[in-house]
Amino acid sequence: MTAPIDSTPRADGFSMPGEFASHRGCWMAWPERPDNWRDAAGPAQEAFVAVAEAIHPSDPVTMTVSPAQFANARSRLSPGIRVLEIESDDSWMRDIGPSFVTDGGGGLRAVDWKFNAWGGTVDGLYAPWDRDDAMAARVAEVEGADRYRAPFVLEGGAIHVDGEGTVYTTEECLLSDGRNPGMDRAAIEAGLRDYLGAEKVVWVPRGVILDETTGHVDNILHVCAPGVVALTWTDDADDPQHERSSEALDALLSARDARGRAIEIVKLPMPGPLYMTAEEAAGIAPGAGGMSRAAGERLAGSYSNFYIGNSRVVFPLLDPDHDAEAASILQRLFPDRDIIGVPGREILLGGGNVHCITQQVPR
């Protein structure tokens, strides 16, 4: 494996494109961890297959998998989906894979963030996480992309970019004690500018209630175009998410992006509230890794957790009372793309959704 570049994307003229820009592929990782995915991960694997198959007509998909699960994954995925033996500790490719940057002239490089399972020894979800931390370098190698090794902890779900110099993130996540306790807000902003080639950081206070990633931005909002953001929203003032979404709305309304634009905000309904059932909790194996799953636990459901592909947007179906409304809003936001709903509850039970388990490679 080649050594990382001793520089930064910003210094070399590279920056991260928006997710809505053209892709040459999408990466995912196969779920199998029994202390996170119920019933030996069988239902989760079915859900991951549905996501991969929904994305594949738009973006070529690569699925990483352990040697023990290779035959299972290969038999359940379409022949056109590439399956590679690369082991991981769990299956959140958005967070363990690299963030890709381009130079506008055909150059592609990868940013390999430090990963510590969303909080390390302070409030991380499992240990060890060394195979997850090694994933970005492996993906970059397969893609033939030189890589930068960022000197701080960050996950791909903790950031959104607009491709025109703006980064969106949450204070709850990036200023958490478990990630970079030696870095203050100014140092984090400098790191985001250097490794994403950005100019402006837009902070929202908190993410979705009880999101165990400590409030990833990709679960409360999604950047749909430069200056356009979809925001998870509930009108129910008695729901604790209302306060969080209102804080985010106020922060976005008072901000300007890197081009000086006011930010257009489109509200997406919050599903539910949704809760883990006793049957679902009973199917999860006890483990020593640190994760906790219990009946009655509120799930951090969000329609903002979708994937923008070249020709389609793939979003999670989570609540029959709101699925159609979410699809309609997404169709207005992406009139030139097909809107494809896939069953999202099994992924949600593990702690995330469609965006969390995917990572795009820009063209």
Residue spans of the domains in the chain: they are: 9-362
Beta strands in 55-206 (DSSP E): 61-65, 82-85, 99-102, 108-114, 146-153, 160-161, 166-170, 200-204
Residue 299's pLDDT band (cuts 50, 70, 90)? very high
Burial (CB < 10 A; 0-12, 13-18, 19+), residue 332, is exposed
Three-state SS at 36: coil
Per-residue pLDDT tens digits for 46-82: 999 999 999 999 999 999 999 999 999 999 999 999 9
Q: Are 125 and 118 in contact (CB under 8 A)?
A: yes
Q: Are 226 and 257 in contact (CB under 8 A)?
A: yes
Per-residue pLDDT tens digits for 104-119: 999 999 999 999 999 9
Torsion region of 154: left, alpha or beta (phi above 0 gives left; psi -120 to 50 gives alpha): beta
Per-residue pLDDT tens digits for 29-56: 999 999 999 999 999 999 999 999 999 9
Whole-number pLDDT of residue 289: 65
Gap between the Cα atoms of 331 and 341, Å rounded: 12
- List, by residue number, the catalytic residues: 356
Instruction: Name the pTM for this structure.
Output: 0.97
Whole-number pLDDT of residue 2: 82
Q: What is the arrangement of strands in the sheet containing 264-269, beginning at the earlier edge strand?
A: 221-225, 228-233, 264-269
Whole-number pLDDT of residue 273: 97
Half-sphere exposure of 342 (CA within 13 A, CB side): 25
- Write the class of the CATH domain 9-362: alpha beta
Mean pLDDT of the chain: 97
